[in-house]
Chain A
Amino acid sequence: MAARNQRPTYDFLVGAPSPSPPPQQQRAHQLRDTLRQSQAARPAAGLPSPVTDLSNEDLRAQLKTLQYELDTLKQDRAVTQLQQQQDVRDAQQRAAADFERAQAAERAAQAATRKADALARELHEHQTRAANERAELERKARAAQERAREADEEAQEAREERASAERGARHRLDEAEARLARVQEALEDARAELQGRAAELGRTQGALAKKEEEADALQSELVKLRSVSGDVGGYEMVKRQLSDQVAHIRRLEHANREQAAELAALHKQHRSVELVEEEKRGLENRLRAIDGLRRELAEAQLRCQVLEDERRAWSSYLETEGARESGDDELRFESPEDLARAYIRERLETASLLDRLGAVQPELSVREQNIRALEDEKAALKSELEKLHASQGGAAAAAAGEAADARARARLERQKALAIRENEYLRAQFKAFDAEASEFHADSFDEVKSARIQELEGLIDSYRKELETVHADLSKAEQQASQRQPPAAAVSAGTKRPLEDAANGDATTSDERVGELRRKNRHLQDALAKQQKKAGVLEADLRAAQAQLASLRASSRVRVLELRSNPTADAEALKLSTVTTLRAENRALREQLLLEGGGGDDAAAAAAETKENAGAGARRKPDAVPAASLAAAQAEMAELRAELAQRDKKAQRMREVWSAKSAEFREAVASLLGWRLEFMPSGRVRATSLFYPGGDAAAGEANNIVFDGENGTMKVSGGPQSRFAREIADHIAFWVEGKKEIPCFLAAMTLDFYENKYEGQKSGG
């Protein structure tokens, strides 16, 4: 069978080349053929073979091929069968293996489930732990957030700092740019200058080239000349001329040397002359100074002379005074000051004397009036007397009248005597005053007054003389009368005399008493005047001393003290230092400005340009500010820093105040509502009841509720399974979940806790 299988295959393959379509096509073709043959074969089957002999061959081949095909198919099938069996076996084996594996897997699964359970448990644990951890992490996260916020703030600050630094940097950059611009300008200037120089160089080079050309020309000329002077005669001549010239030059040189020597000598002389002149000028100056000095000296001498004269006058005066008044210590002067003092004393005395004079004058006038009255009286008496005399001739019966007359006369005489005595006394007094006044008050002695007084005195004297003559006449007349009528007169006189005497005696004694009293009075007045004078001097002294004393006392009795480093002084010092720094800066800037102006003047050529670019120039010049401005800026900075510190301080204080206030607020809330509140970041509030204080927070014993305002959530400490949570679960269910009222919830809990606490205590107690 194998051979059959093999052969047709081989044949087919061998015979294939001629018709051979590709195997599939061929097979399809064959199939078609087979179908056709089968259709044809059915009728052909009944036909005798010889009839179909021709086509038989073909059919046989077909058959053969079909058979072969069939064989191959069978073979294929067998192969596939084998393969399938193989496959089945394989599959079985695989199944078995799978089974085993499945079993193993089952075991593994069981183990896995066990493990899974364990894992689940573990997972649970992990979950719980994770929950805790998460809480912790949340806390941490919050902390981290806080930190982040802080960091943010810091970053903000840093950003601000950076911004300020940036500003500073920009500022510096600007400055640098400005400087760069300036430098560039300078560079451009330099370049322009360079170009100018280059142009100049070109010009110079051109000139040089020209010169060179000239030189070439000259050289060529020289060559030409040399060629010309090739002839010997010319050469000789030239040589001679040359030697002549050389000799001439030598001579000249010699002369020059001589002259130079001379010049040097002259120079030396000139220098010495200059020196001398300088000296002369110096001397002249000195002379002038000396002249001035001499003039001054002369003046001074003159002044000195004057002073000396004055002094001599003073001293001589003082000496003479001293000599004259050597007995009187009071009037011996050692110095003009003494004299001045004495003068003051004298003035005071004079003033007092004037006063007294003033006091005396009315007295005097009164006396004068008295005198006048007396004179009048006297005149009246005289007239009466005359009348009497006249009537005497025919008055025999005038005895009684004469007696009366005699009485009256006696009275008058008494009065006269009194008046005369008084007058004399007054005159003596007055003379004494005059003497005093003339002695002490020579300058201002009133001439007129004295003249008038003398006049008056003269008048009185004349009156007195007249009176005496009248008296003499009268006595003569009396004598005549008494001769005529002696007895009556004698009787009357005799009767009258004792009385008169007694009266006279009384008068004289009273006069004496009065005089004594007057003298005493005068003495006392003198003493008073002296004392007043002394008092005046002393008062002047006292005033001077008081003035001195007051000034001394004001400075010595109380000291006004202050602490040296007081705020006012500090402020003043600050102001002063600011002023000084500013002043220094100002000065430095001004100097710089002046320097700049000078530089501008120097560059005369560039004046027009600077005028044009005044702004640019001004911008270019100050490439650096003076150090003083730096100091000023630093001072300003320090001030700003101080201000900053103050602001910080303020902020710090605000913070302190805020924290104090918030603590106060919390306290108030706690005491009013029974819940201690803690404000936590991100709007959360932790509430702890005063009646249910938490244990140790770290141990998870904190009995509090955390309200999250942002999320509207509420978290009971220790989780929903804690003791606290279980205790308040009812309230939560009723108030929070049912009525959504947190304040009522808290209040209910407060009541609840209060009852629990105190009942617990009661039961415990």
Chain B
Amino acid sequence: MSSEKDKAKTHKLSLKGSSKIVAEFFEYSINTILFQRGVYPAEDFTAVKKYGLNMLVSSDDQVKAYIKKIMSQLNKWMLGGKISKLVVVITSKETGEHVERWQFDVQIFGKSSKARSSKRTGDKENSAPNTPDAPPEKTEKEIQEEIQSIFRQITASVTFLPMLDGNCTFNVLVYADADSDVPIEWGDSDAKEIKNGEKVQLRSFSTSNHRVDTLVSYRLAD
């Protein structure tokens, strides 16, 4: 009984830490995408050391405030395990078309034990291969290296992604479970998928509780 309780506690703690890592990763990846894709001018960014890299973070007040708002809510949802996807959509200001879509899929390893257990008991045998087993424990350094390689890849992806005309804006979408608490500032949105878009799967990283896959889809030049 007590051991179970302890286990739950440690689980919770590690979930918290893992959520924090993932949320932080999201924050920096949003900033990196904004910088690399030229959504905002380069002088709006200041360099910060993170993950052993020089990360560029927006110093524009509005953008900062927006990202901060998203992050505060995202942290809550991450802790609740409600997030399945985070998407950064880059939209052309002129035409309103979605030109690029960065999708971060979040898988939660411990989730089957909690929220989905009731649903999945019936077909546990079938679902077992789908839900990845929790990977062996990783050190923080390993996780950081994985994240670092993702950022390197995001930076490198500029080489194959089509040029943006500069007059673009962005939006952050969050795929949350239907039963999550949604504050009044948040509203439903469409998925903003790119029609006939090209998709490129990038690297992924995993922590003790989460696995994050990265996928960029973009509109091909006509």
Supply 20 further A-B pairs (C-beta < 8 A) apart from A561-B188, A564-B186, A565-B185.
Answer: A559-B177, A559-B180, A560-B175, A560-B189, A561-B173, A561-B176, A561-B186, A562-B171, A562-B188, A564-B187, A565-B66, A566-B66, A567-B62, A567-B171, A568-B169, A569-B171, A571-B91, A650-B43, A653-B43, A654-B43
Beta-carbon contact of B174 and A575 below 8 Å: no
Beta-carbon contact of B63 and A563 below 8 Å: no
Distance A566 CA – B69 CA, assembled complex (angstroms): 10
Closest 10 pairs (CB-CB, A-B): A568-B171, A562-B189, A567-B169, A571-B169, A566-B171, A561-B174, A564-B187, A568-B91, A561-B186, A568-B169
Chain B residues with CB below 8 A from A561, complex form: 173-176, 182, 186-189
Distance A465 CA – B59 CA, assembled complex (angstroms): 109
Chain A residues engaging chain B, CB cutoff 8 angstroms: 556-572, 575, 650, 653-654
User: Could you jot down 29 A-B contacts, CB within 8 Å?
Assistant: A558-B84, A558-B177, A559-B175, A559-B178, A559-B188, A560-B189, A560-B191, A561-B173, A561-B182, A561-B186, A561-B187, A562-B172, A562-B186, A562-B187, A563-B69, A563-B185, A564-B185, A564-B187, A565-B185, A566-B66, A567-B62, A567-B66, A567-B171, A568-B89, A568-B171, A569-B171, A571-B93, A575-B96, A650-B41
Name the distance in Å between B61's Cβ and chain A's nearest Cβ. 9
A-B pairs with beta carbons under 8 A, tally? 79
Chain A residues with CB below 8 A from B96, complex form: 572, 575
Name the distance in Å between A298's Cβ and chain B's nearest Cβ. 50
B190 touches A (CB below 8 Å): yes
Name the distance in Å between B205's Cβ and chain A's nearest Cβ. 22
A556-B178, A558-B176, A558-B178 given; A563·B66 CB < 8 A: yes
Main secondary structure of the interface of B (DSSP, over half): mixed
Beta-carbon contact of B63 and A567 below 8 Å: yes
B170 touches A (CB below 8 Å): yes
Of chain B, the residue at the smallest CB distance from A568 is B171
Name the distance in Å between A524's Cβ and chain B's nearest Cβ. 32
Chain B residues with CB below 8 A from A559, complex form: 175-178, 180, 182, 188
Name the distance in Å between B56's Cβ and chain A's nearest Cβ. 13
B215 touches A (CB below 8 Å): no
B70 touches A (CB below 8 Å): yes
Distance A650 CA – B174 CA, assembled complex (angstroms): 32
Of B175, B178, B189, B190, which is in contact with the most chain A CB atoms at under 10 Å from its CB? B189
Chain B residues with CB below 8 A from A571, complex form: 91, 93, 169
Interface string of B59-83 (1 = CB under 8 A from A): 1001100100110010000000000
Chain B residues with CB below 8 A from A558, complex form: 84, 175-178
Distance A564 CA – B84 CA, assembled complex (angstroms): 20
Question: From residue 123 to 170 of chain B, which have CB atoms closer than 8 A to chain A?
Answer: 169-170
Chain A residues with CB below 8 A from B175, complex form: 558-561
Distance A567 CA – B167 CA, assembled complex (angstroms): 12
Name the distance in Å between B87's Cβ and chain A's nearest Cβ. 8
Distance A650 CA – B41 CA, assembled complex (angstroms): 10
Chain B residues with CB below 8 A from A575, complex form: 93, 96
Chain A residues with CB below 8 A from B182, complex form: 559, 561
A558-B177, A569-B171 given; A563·B186 CB < 8 A: yes
Distance A572 CA – B59 CA, assembled complex (angstroms): 23
Chain B residues with CB below 8 A from A565, complex form: 66, 185
Beta-carbon contact of A560 and B173 below 8 Å: yes
Distance A557 CA – B176 CA, assembled complex (angstroms): 9
Partner of B170, one of A564, A567, A650, A654: A567
Distance A187 CA – B121 CA, assembled complex (angstroms): 94
Of chain B, the residue at the smallest CB distance from A650 is B43
Chain B residues with CB below 8 A from A557, complex form: 177-178
Name the distance in Å between B175's Cβ and chain A's nearest Cβ. 5
Chain A residues with CB below 8 A from B174, complex form: 560-562
Chain A residues with CB below 8 A from B190, complex form: 560
Beta-carbon contact of A563 and B70 below 8 Å: yes
Chain A residues with CB below 8 A from B189, complex form: 560-562
Name the distance in Å between B46's Cβ and chain A's nearest Cβ. 9
Distance A562 CA – B98 CA, assembled complex (angstroms): 15
Beta-carbon contact of B170 and A560 below 8 Å: no
Chain B residues with CB below 8 A from A566, complex form: 66, 170-172
Distance A658 CA – B53 CA, assembled complex (angstroms): 23
A571-B93, A572-B96 given; A562·B173 CB < 8 A: yes
Chain B residues with CB below 8 A from A560, complex form: 173-175, 188-191
Partner of A563, one of B62, B84, B172, B180: B172
Distance A664 CA – B5 CA, assembled complex (angstroms): 55
Chain B residues with CB below 8 A from A556, complex form: 178
Of chain B, the residue at the smallest CB distance from A553 is B178
Of B63, B73, B175, which is in contact with the most chain A CB atoms at under 10 Å from its CB? B175
Distance A570 CA – B174 CA, assembled complex (angstroms): 18
Chain A residues with CB below 8 A from B69, complex form: 563
Name the distance in Å between A659's Cβ and chain B's nearest Cβ. 14
Name the distance in Å between A562's Cβ and chain B's nearest Cβ. 4
Distance A408 CA – B111 CA, assembled complex (angstroms): 83
Interface string of B183-218 (1 = CB under 8 A from A): 001111111000000000000000000000000000
Distance A556 CA – B66 CA, assembled complex (angstroms): 27
Of chain B, the residue at the smallest CB distance from A562 is B189
Of B171, B174, B190, which is in contact with the most chain A CB atoms at under 10 Å from its CB? B171
Chain B residues with CB below 8 A from A572, complex form: 96
Distance A575 CA – B169 CA, assembled complex (angstroms): 13
Chain B residues with CB below 8 A from A564, complex form: 185-187
Chain A residues with CB below 8 A from B178, complex form: 556-559
Beta-carbon contact of A568 and B170 below 8 Å: yes
Of A557, A560, A572, which is in contact with the most chain B CB atoms at under 10 Å from its CB? A560
Of chain B, the residue at the smallest CB distance from A564 is B187
Of chain A, the residue at the smallest CB distance from B34 is A567
Of chain B, the residue at the smallest CB distance from A569 is B171
Of chain A, the residue at the smallest CB distance from B171 is A568
Distance A746 CA – B93 CA, assembled complex (angstroms): 59
Distance A341 CA – B134 CA, assembled complex (angstroms): 50
Distance A653 CA – B45 CA, assembled complex (angstroms): 10
Of chain B, the residue at the smallest CB distance from A567 is B169
Of chain A, the residue at the smallest CB distance from B77 is A561
Chain A residues with CB below 8 A from B93, complex form: 571, 575
Distance A203 CA – B182 CA, assembled complex (angstroms): 87
Distance A307 CA – B24 CA, assembled complex (angstroms): 68
Distance A560 CA – B187 CA, assembled complex (angstroms): 8
Chain A residues with CB below 8 A from B186, complex form: 561-564
Chain A residues with CB below 8 A from B185, complex form: 563-565
Chain A residues with CB below 8 A from B180, complex form: 559
Distance A558 CA – B179 CA, assembled complex (angstroms): 9
Distance A650 CA – B178 CA, assembled complex (angstroms): 43
Of A558, A561, A569, A654, which is in contact with the most chain B CB atoms at under 10 Å from its CB? A561
Name the distance in Å between B112's Cβ and chain A's nearest Cβ. 16
Name the distance in Å between A498's Cβ and chain B's nearest Cβ. 65
Of chain B, the residue at the smallest CB distance from A565 is B185
Question: From residue 40 to 55 of chain B, which have CB atoms closer than 8 A to chain A?
Answer: 41, 43
Name the distance in Å between A744's Cβ and chain B's nearest Cβ. 39
Of chain B, the residue at the smallest CB distance from A566 is B171
Name the distance in Å between A505's Cβ and chain B's nearest Cβ. 56
Distance A560 CA – B175 CA, assembled complex (angstroms): 5
Interface string of B90-112 (1 = CB under 8 A from A): 01010010000000000000000
